Amino acid sequence: MTSGGAGGAQPTAADLDAADPLALIRDDFDLPEGIYLVGNSLGALPKAARDYVMTELDRWGHLGVEGHFRGKLAWKDYHGLLTEQLASLVGAHADEVVAMNALTVNLHLLMVSFYRPTAIRHKILIESHAFPSDHFAAESQIRHHGFDPTTSLVTIEPRPGHETLHRKDILEAIAHAGETLALVLLPGVQYYTGQVLPMEDITNAAHAVGAVVGFDLAHAAGNIEIDLHDWDVDFAAWCTYKYLNSGPGGVAGAFVHRRHVTDQSLPKFLGWWGTNQATRFEMATEFDAIDSVESWQLSNAPVLPMATLRASLDIIDKAGGMPALRAKSERQIGYFDRRLSEALGDRVTNITPVALQERGCQYALRVTNGEGRRVFAELEAARVLCDWREPDVIRVAPVPLYNSFTDIDRFVQILDETVR
């Protein structure tokens, strides 16, 4: 049985793959055997990553310490090779974005600057189902400043019987916290439900009460179109091993709005990579901040993980960047929705919002007969790579860079056989 369903007039997966201008990009990746639908957790390996890394190993072997200073790939400037591409993915200017550290580290470093509680304004607003690392980071920042999370951590949650957050509830919670609200820390895309939050509205609402806004873009960067600068977001951080395919533990991204990057009154944890290059190697102990987000850097940057990320960003450029990827993603979402309803009807529900502007490529599927765990185990046994998230959701993400319409079709067929 192949795709198409009963209608006949509807295009099949093969038709859609044949018409897909990005279909060949898949060949730029190594995909594990089976159907890889878990790029929301760890993106696939860009084949060229091997060359990019080998180049740096060779440079190390041939140049030793001089690799820091020699040529276009000089390691002391290597992070700068990533800046333009990362900035374009999140809608930022080059002086607003830097590749550094890991996601949770960056959240902490940015909160050092942007969470400055006072007796009146001390609250952080997060979601009640925040990714644990974000929850821990916010909670520990509150304690670090001598406040108590029971009074300073405000959480928002879906209405009873609902899976996702209401835009109105988020904005009301912000308005309600008012002058007690120091920081809003929310995801761009919710990791469990796949819901895209209205980042611009949230930013406006937070600024209206005098609060600062930071977004965790772990599930948003490389998945949806983002305009951090124009939305006036204060700061953001994201990992690159999900939709940006940098590999396990890859280097993360950080954004600070241009309004803040040269503000030397912001408290900041300092390291030598944040001082001006011209004087850095004179080893003076006077901090001379780089006039960009690079002044938040602490340490000389991890070149090998940045090399794998470059390989991936070059493929994303070749594909036409986020607009082209999102256009394909929307076609895949339309196809996936159609196949799910044709094949499975109400035996499986997707808790991800239906409206395109409220979702990225990730689906959060719930098997309605309560046998989600068994179904997930059988999917695994059938070499469908997806993931299980407690309490009862199977996450699958067709990633437009390397997933085909045929992957989606085969997944739906296997799911259908498994749920039966």
Ligand X SMILES: *Cc1c(COP(=O)(O)O)cnc(C)c1O
Looking at the Cβ atoms of 106 and 295, the one nearer to ligand X is 106
State yes or no: residue 187 binds ligand X (CB under 6 A): yes
Alpha-carbon radius of gyration of the chain: 22
Determine whether 243 is exposed, middle or buried from the number of CB atoms within 10 Å of its CB (0-12, 13-18, 19+): buried
Q: Is residue 134 at the binding interface for ligand X, with CB under 6 A as the rule?
A: yes
Of 129 and 373, the one with the shorter C-beta distance to ligand X is 129
Return d(Cα 334, Cα 274) in angstroms, integer: 45
Judged by beta carbon, residue 40 or residue 418, the one nearer ligand X is 40
Report in angstroms how near the CB of residue 4 gets to ligand X at its nearest.
35
Pick from 182, 177, 198, 311: which is nearest to 244 by CA? 311
Nearest distance, CB of residue 238 and ligand X, angstroms: 9
By beta-carbon proximity to ligand X, the closer residue of 90 and 102 is 102
Q: Among 35, 37, 53, 102, which residue interacts with ligand X (rule: CB under 6 A)? A: 102
Which one, 102 or 393, has the nearer CB to ligand X? 102
Q: Which of 25, 45, 103, 228 binds ligand X (CB under 6 A)?
A: 103
Strand runs (DSSP E) across 106-220, as ranges? 123-127, 153-156, 181-187, 212-216
What are all long-range contacts of 204-208, with beta carbons under 8 Å and residues at least 24 apart? 204/232, 205/170, 205/171, 205/174, 205/175, 206/174, 206/181, 207/232, 208/174, 208/175
Left if phi > 0, otherwise alpha if psi is -120 to 50, otherwise beta: which for 168? alpha
Which residue from 163, 216, 294, 407 is in contact with ligand X, where contact means CB under 6 A? 216
The reply on whether position 276 binds ligand X by CB under 6 A is no
Residue 205 vs 218, nearer CB to ligand X: 218
- Which letter does DSSP use for residue 302 in this model? -
**Does 133 engage in binding with ligand X (CB under 6 A)?**
yes
Segment lying near ligand X (by CB under 6 A), choices 101-109, 193-201, 222-230, 307-315: 101-109
Q: Which of 217, 223, 197, 220 lies closest to 325, judged by CA?
A: 223
HSE value, Cβ hemisphere, 13 Å, CA-based, for 271: 11
- Which window, 7-15, 17-25, 128-136, 282-290, contacts ligand X (CB under 6 A)? 128-136
How many Cβ atoms sit within 10 Å of the Cβ of residue 192? Answer: 22
Q: How far is the CB of 399 from ligand X (least distance, A)?
A: 15
If you search the block for the tokens 């949230």, which residue do you land on? 202
Kindly identify the residues of this chain, within the stretch 238-267, that bind ligand X according to CB under 6 A.
239
User: Site residues (CB under 6 A) for ligand X?
Assistant: 102-104, 131, 133-134, 187, 191, 216, 218-219, 239
